Amino acid sequence: MVAEQLGFEGMPQRLYTCTPSRLNNWLDCPRRYRMTYLDRPSPPKGPRWAHNSVGSSVHNALAGWWRLPEHERTAAAAGTLLVRGWLTDGFRDEAQSAEWRERAREMVERYAARLDPADEPLGVERTVATRTDRIAVSGRIDRLDARGSELVVVDYKTGRHVLTSDDARGSLQLALYALAAARVLRRPCRRVELHHLPSGEVAVWEHTDESLQRHLRRAESIASEAAEADAAYRERLRPPTVPQPRSGEGGTVDHARYDEMFPPRPGNLCAWCDFARHCPEGREAAPRKDSWAALSS
């Protein structure tokens, strides 16, 4: 383990503060994790992604819809909010942005038409948090519903792939949200739902107390590895400053001394990495995609 390698064995553990995204970042690629959360200043990112603009625009419109007075919560109002808040980053050109704005407008109107305006959620973009003796985890839930005596975590998805119950079951993020919501609001929360707006499909999983605890133990295990690497970075590895590429260069910073603690994990996902210009292994594994490549035709 990292702590043993660097002589930290036996030291008391610090409470690791995180979000589900931070934990998943560590799992996906420790090098990207380091550039995202530890390097200061953080290396410059690549261009923004069009699919993120679509997703953020849709999420913002649906959050705004629930903030309207009940009598104003119509399908057309959802479309209007989408158009007003449309984000344009990452598209190939204005024509593609306009095409996807219309697609997204139809998407949120179709979804809103199926909602009951009077069925007020307990939370929209609600921040929840919980802690154990090892981690303090927090996150923001797209929508938190009350159904009977229990809470339901609802997460909106706008990607091209239709999701299944296995996606809901295996989501560390949703499980941690459920645990945190139950802790904050003191009500049972076991059901998690992925609402796939392009298809209208809803992927559902009903957790048990045991399955939620398995996810929590997994989160603690991931956090333990990341915390050890964080401590190594702070105590032994971090230089006085982190050099950056000169303006206009596509080269990389020499981070060889970090590779033992923060190795890259090259693969297909490297094509979508914001830090690809700083990672030769990632560029070799998968050339970066165009910023609009994730949009369906």
Q: Label residue 12 by pLDDT band (50, 70, 90).
A: low
pLDDT over threshold 80, residue 66: yes
Q: How is the chain split into domains, by residue range?
A: 123-214
pLDDT over threshold 90, residue 154: yes
Q: Distance from CA of residue 158 to its chain's centroid?
A: 13
With contact defined as beta carbons under 8 Å apart, do 137 and 130 qualify? yes
- Tens of pLDDT along 189-231? 999 999 999 999 999 999 999 999 999 999 999 999 999 999 9
Distance CA 16, CA 286 (A): 32
Cα 152–157–161 angle (5° rounding)? 125
3 state DSSP class of 271: helix
Instruction: Report pLDDT for 46.
Output: 86
Distance CA 115, CA 285 (A): 44
Q: Which residue, chain included where needed, has tokens 């629930």?
A: 66
Residue type present at position 222: I
The verdict on domain 123-214 having CATH code 3.40.50.880 is no
Q: Where are the alpha helices (DSSP H) in the chain?
A: 2-5, 20-28, 30-37, 50-67, 75-84, 94-112, 165-170, 172-185, 209-232, 280-285
- Exposed/middle/buried for residue 220 (C-beta within 10 Å: 0-12, 13-18, 19+): middle
With contact defined as beta carbons under 8 Å apart, do 62 and 80 qualify? no
Distance CA 206, CA 218 (A): 18
Q: Label residue 123 by pLDDT band (50, 70, 90).
A: very high
